[in-house]
Amino acid sequence: MIDDPQHPEMVKALRGVAQRINRVVEGRTINKNLIDEVMDAVKHHRQEWRARGVDFPTLVMLCVPRIGVLEFARADLDIASLRIKVVNFVRANPAATMVEVVAAFRAAYPDLRPDEILQGHISGKSADERQRERQARIQKEVNEQLGIEPDEETKDG
């Protein structure tokens, strides 16, 4: 099965699903029926391409009906990719309220917990502090693996 996102057949499949969605959505108001119809079209498209030997990914819909946003993402995103997706979604849709963004992601990823996305943000630590802590942890692990004893200066702090 072809699973490389840069493969010409995968690119063709992705363009095809975008065209299929546009045909379904064009000129219509976003409601439950339209969402169901779009998701059926996406599922059908995935089945067609899998039959052709292209491992088309399972997609989920991020939807904010009030502002007319229908966006798709892979269903198998890891936490780091989801964090990036949330940030990009908020930047691309500044008119969406935080409640709408949370509702869109909860509908798309029902097993996702908010604390998984927020990571260390709840503790109030800055990104720089979290980065320094990660680097210190990694350096400590490397030193332990190499059998290097910490300096007197670094033992205290």
pLDDT at 155: 54
Does 2 fall in a domain? no
Does 22 fall in a domain? yes
**Contacts of residue 120, Cβ cutoff 8 Å, sequence gap at least 6:** 130
Size (the chain), residues: 157
Structure tokens at 91: 């930047």
Q: What is the extent of the structural domain holding 131?
A: 125-157
pLDDT at 15: 93
Q: Are residues 52 and 76 in the same domain?
A: yes
The number of beta carbons lying within 10 Å of the beta carbon of residue 128 is 8
pTM comes to 0.68
Does 1 fall in a domain? no
**In the predicted model, is pLDDT for residue 121 greater than 70?**
no
Q: What is the mean pLDDT of residues 62-76?
A: 93
Q: Are residues 93 and 147 in the same domain?
A: no
Q: Above pLDDT 70, what percent of the chain?
A: 87
How would you classify the pairing of strands 69-74 and 59-64? antiparallel
pLDDT at 123: 54
Sign for the CA dihedral angle at 66, 69, 73, 75 comes to positive
